[in-house]
Structure 1
Amino acid sequence: MFIGLDLGTSGLKGVLIDEAQRVLAEATAPLTVSRPQEGWSEQSPADWIAAAEAVLDALAAHGLSAVRGIGLSGQMHGATLLDAKDEVLRPCILWNDTRAHVEAAELDRDPMFRRLSGNIVFPGFTAPKLLWVARHEPRMRERVARVLLPKDYLRLWLTGDHVAEMSDAAGTSWLDTGARDWSDDLLAATGLSRANMPRLVEGSEVSGTVRPVLAARWGMGNSVVVAGGGGDNAAAGVGVGVVRAGEAFVSLGTSGVLFAANDGYHPDPASAVHTFCHALPRTWHQMGVILAATDALNWYARLVGAEASALTGELESLRPPGKTVFLPYLGGERTPLNSASVRGAFTGLEHATDRSAATRAVLEGVTFAIRDCRDALAATGTRLESLLAVGGGSRSDYWLRLIATALGVPVQLPVAGDFGGAFGAARLALMASTGAGAESATLPAIARVIEPDTTLTDAMDAGHARFRAAQDALKDLT
């Protein structure tokens, strides 16, 4: 058996799978976020340990004596600061903390960061947080001996070892992402060296073994390995089997993610595409990220006083995009605009614009934003040959038909099941324990495939052109 632990922002989830990758049990424990000042977002690492203990206690009810490996997944970019005795110095500064925006802009002006890391230095990344601590908490900074990412603090607790893996490390702005190694130059730019960093392994490699005292506590054997694991999106990619070039998934959650696996390193920081190492050796992945997917639909539903499911349920056959255009930038945008200040808009409103027409415009706007992400990825040479749909928005057939047609690629809908980060982490534990390779990260069973409506291809192209024109006009205003 194998365990996957996924340390999220709002909770920690664990799954227990067998050799055939069947889920035998799962458990969750909630977590809270502290926001002591505007723009701040912190968590206590002690709470992560307590949550992991609660999840393992729950899984132990099913018997863990046959467990051979544990895999770790989790929220990326967090700065967990330890002293020379591995004591936590301050609450972890999380991925959605924006206090280091000045420091991020400063680092990003140095072309070395984009050249070596392959990415823009975003305020949520780890490196600018260390500069912020140095400037605003200098006595604290003097005591920092080691910097760990959130899931890797769990690893320290489990194994006693300081280890990170490539996919999570790629989101720090300290990794030479093409070389899959820490960059001495990037570390030095923030006053660090390799001595402050964990050693690196691949996500499917062994990073250590569970400490005997913990193994005994949960009835495990004395040689349970802990896999390198993966950052949350990379682990989710392993969970849904998106690990080979040409494979991709679109996640329609609060935000939207277009995630594509790649067998080469093809960064394009200027487009705000994230180019990170994947959780498997010699693979990378790219992500286009939009900040409002179902969030945009839910905003519109509140505006008109209806349930989102009722609005999408009113839509029947797919139509050509209308004159009304919706720009879904309710709180800024990531790919490809990279703007925290840009805001959304309806344009082309007319007397004929009724509730259904506006609903279609909202879904089209989010879809065209995802198409912008597709185009940004395509500009780097990344191709999409298959596309899985996951997340709450994938319950809308209309939306899936729209995406398939606008992107010109069939959309596959998996059978019911959770193929997220915890499942991907368990798969990585299986690989580390057995020596299995990427072939064990299979795609899930597909319930159905939604083909593009080729009769609407020209209409979708025209609709996207109107979307881009409205986008350009909005940028001029902001």
Structure 2
Amino acid sequence: MFLGIDVGTSCVKAVVTGDDGAVLAQASSDLTVSRPHPLWSEQAPADWVSAANKAVLALDPAMRGAVSAIGLAGQMHGATLLGSDDRPLRPAILWNDGRSFAQCAELEALEPRSREITGNIAMPGFTAPKLAWVRAHEPDVFAATRTVLLPKDYVRLALTGEKASDMSDSAGTLWLDVEARAWSGAMLAASGLYESHMPRLYEGPEVTGVLREDVARSWGMARVPVVAGAGDNAAGALGVGVLADGQGMLSLGTSGVIFVATDRFRPNPGQAVHAFCHALPGLWHQMSVHLSAASCIDWAARACNVPGPAEFFALAEQAGVASGGELFLPYLSGERTPHNDPHIRAAFLGLGNESTTPRLAAAVLEGVAFAHADGIDALRAAGTRIEELCVIGGGSRSAHWGRILASVLGVRLVYLHGGEVGPALGAARLAQMAATAASAEAVCTRPPVRAVIEPDPELAARLAPKRDRFRAAYRALASIKE
């Protein structure tokens, strides 16, 4: 058996898979996000370790004892700053933190080849601008920093004592030469850092260490190997068999991602399209990223006093598609693709006396779909052909939302058994590759299809006027933001 651990934003998930790749068990432990100031988003690194421990210990002890390798996946970009004693110097600054916007321009000015080296626009979500912010605003913390780790790699340090990372997650720091798959001395120098501040780099299925004796004893396991793993999106893609050029995935988790695998490095930062390493050697990928997706469902359900996402989806379906003039702009934490705008915030527009909770729910689903349509347009402008996307994440549970998304995006959506498991499944698959020496093609197969949703031209036509209003609303909202 193989264990995948995904260090997410809202929870840490642990998944056990068998030799045939089937998910045998899963458990999770919740996390909270601290937002002490506008634009800030932080977590305590110790909480990741505690939640990982709780999630693993919630699994059946017999299954834990049969695990032969562990893979890690996690939220990308988080800046975890460690001192000389390997303890965190401050809370980790997360992927959806927008405070370092000014430092992005400074970083690109210090290294004019930044976009060429990294394949990406410098955005506040990336790790390097966060360190530039710490350098400017918390100079004592910056001076004391000896190591910078990503969230899952801090958990790795706790589990194994090793400082290591994988290519896909490290590509999101802005310190990686993404084509060469190596740390960039020039980008590190622009940040006032050295390669000694960085963990050692590995490809996704490579072994980075073994469980510490005390952890293995607590978990009821042997001292099994822990592989490099992947950033959450690359791991999620492997979980649904997206590993060949042109294959794609739509992830509807806290954030929303359209992910397309490529067999070469294909940057197009002018469109705010990300170009990162995939979790396997010799592969890369392009992504459009939306900072709020299923998180909009959770937020709106709370705001509307609806018990949970399932009930919220049901209300939206009750209202029907394009049933009213209500419009929702889903920018709870700003936006990346295509706007690169950390300051924009969400809004409801077009409310009237006739507005109801079901119609608000319908507007939320439509608004997230429109944001993803902006993202897929940016990918297509970058020369990427997309005809089909596998759907993963919590949002994959709603077929009604799928019909809206397929029609607005103009692509076929494929729903797979186990697709809602997400990145933890891909992490377990990387562990299986390490433990068995099996190929990616043999291990990272597409799970069985449970449903296919084709674009509905009539639905797309009904939604087209609202999408036009959505685009105009972003421009108007951007003109009056604080």
Alpha carbons of 1:225 and 1:373: their partners in 2 closer, same or farther (altered >3 Å)?
Answer: same
Helix, strand or coil for the counterpart of 1:449? strand
Q: CA deviation at 1:182?
A: 0.7
Q: What is aligned with 1:367? A: 369
Greater displacement, 41-50 / 331-340: 41-50
Q: 3-state DSSP class of the match of 2:78?
A: coil
Instruction: Give the number of the structure whose alpha-carbon radius of gyration is greater.
Output: 1
Q: Which residue of 1 aligns with 2:166?
A: 165
Q: Which residue of 2 aligns with 1:447?
A: 450
Contact 1:292/1:330 (CA < 8 Å) preserved in 2?
yes
Which residue matches 1:183?
184
What residue is the counterpart of 1:328 in the other structure?
329
C-alpha deviation, 1:288, in angstroms: 1.6
Matching residue's letter, 2:70: I
Q: Is the partner of 2:236 in helix, strand or coil?
A: helix
In the alignment, does 2:256 pair up with 1:256?
yes
Structure 2 residue corresponding to 1:314, chosen from 297, 300, 318? 318
SS in 2 for 1:123: coil
Instruction: Check conservation: 1:11, 1:31, Cα contact below 8 A.
Output: yes
Q: 2 CA distance for matches of 1:396 and 1:402?
A: 10
Amino acid of the residue matched to residue 284 of structure 1? Answer: W
- 1:115 is the counterpart of 2:119: no
Aligned to 1:24: 24
Distance in 1 (CA, whole Å) between partners of 2:5 and 2:349 is 45
Counterpart residue number, 1:148: 149
**The residue matched to 2:59 in structure 1 has which SS?**
helix
The separation in 2 between residues aligned to 1:76 and 1:95, in whole angstroms, is 6
Q: Distance in 2 between matches of 1:295 and 1:52?
A: 21
Q: Which amino acid aligns with 1:451?
A: E
* Residues 42-100 of structure 1: per-residue CA shift (max 9 Å, x gap): 33333333333333433361244432211011122222223344343333333333343
Please give the alpha-carbon distance, in whole angstroms, between the structure 1 residues aligned to 2:353 and 2:158.
Answer: 62
User: How far apart are residue 9 of structure 1 and its match?
Assistant: 2.8
Q: Which amino acid aligns with 1:269?
A: P
C-alpha contact (below 8 Å) 1:325/1:466 kept by paired residues: no
CA distance in 2, matches of 1:45, 1:296: 25
Question: Partner letter of residue 43 of structure 1?
Answer: Q
Deviation of residue 381 (structure 1)?
2.2
2:440 is the alignment partner of 1:438? yes
Instruction: Please report the RMSD computed on the Cα atoms of aligned residues, expressed in angstroms.
Output: 3.3
AA paired with 1:114? Answer: R
1:209-248 mapped onto 2 (5 Å cutoff): 209-222=210-223, 224-248=224-248
Mapping 1:49-448, distance limit 5 Å: 49-59=49-59, 61-110=61-110, 111-222=112-223, 224-294=224-294, 308-315=312-319, 324=325, 326=327, 328-331=329-332, 332-343=334-345, 362-415=364-417, 418-439=420-441, 440-448=443-451
The CA distance in 1 between the partners of 2:44 and 2:354, in whole Å, is 53
What amino acid is aligned across from residue 262 of structure 2 in structure 1?
N
Which TM-score applies when normalising by structure 2?
A: 0.86
The worse-fitting range, judged by mean Cα deviation, of 96-105 and 293-302 is: 293-302
Unaligned runs of 5+ residues in structure 1 are none
Q: Give 1:315 shift.
A: 4.9
Rounded Cα–Cα distance in structure 2 between residues aligned with 1:287 and 1:114: 15
Alpha-carbon offset, residue 169 of structure 1: 0.5
Q: Deviations over 1:338-366 (max 9, x none)?
A: 22344566778899999877765554443
Once the two structures are TM-superposed, the CA of residue 233 in structure 1 deviates from its matched residue by 1.7
Deviation digits for residues 393-439 of structure 1 (CA, Å, limit 9, x no counterpart):
44443432232223322211223664312121111101122222321
Cα 1:374–1:432 shift into 2, 3 Å:
same
Letter in structure 2 aligned against 1:238: L
- Structure 1 residues 117, 29: closer, same or farther in 2, change over 3 A? same
Cα separation, 1, equivalents of 2:42 and 2:469:
41
Deviates more, 1:459-468 or 1:210-219: 459-468
Counterpart residue number, 2:10: 10
Relative to 1, partners in 2 of residues 1:293 and 1:83: Cα closer, same or farther, differing over 3 Å? closer
CA shift for structure 1 position 13: 1.9
User: How many residues in Structure 1 have an aligned counterpart in Structure 2?
Assistant: 474
1:252–1:15 distance in 2 versus 1, CA, 3 Å? closer
**Under a length normalisation based on structure 1, what TM-score does the superposition of the two structures give?**
0.86
Q: Verify the 8 A CA contact 2:293 2:368 in the aligned structure 1.
A: yes
- Counterpart of 1:10, as a letter, is S
CA distance in 2, matches of 1:198, 1:134: 20
Pair 1:255–1:161, CA change in 2 (3 A): closer
Deviation of the 1:172 alpha carbon = 0.9
Q: CA deviation at 1:291?
A: 3.7
Q: What is the deviation of 1:200?
A: 0.6
Tell me if structure 2 keeps the 8 A contact 1:325–1:365: no
Residue identity opposite 1:229 in structure 2: G
Deviation at 1:124, TM superposition (A): 3.0
Q: Separation in 2 of the partners of 1:397 and 1:48?
A: 32
Please give the secondary structure, in 2, of the residue aligned with 1:171: helix
User: Per-residue deviation at 1:168?
Assistant: 1.0
Structure 1 range deviating more: 38-47 or 357-366: 357-366
* SS of structure 2 residue aligned to 1:335: coil
Which moves more between the two structures, 225-234 or 252-261? 252-261
Query: What is the one-letter code of the residue matched to 1:122?
Result: M
- Whole-Å Cα distance in 2 between the matches of residues 420 and 155 of structure 1? 19
Question: Which residue of 2 is the match for residue 42 of structure 1?
Answer: 42
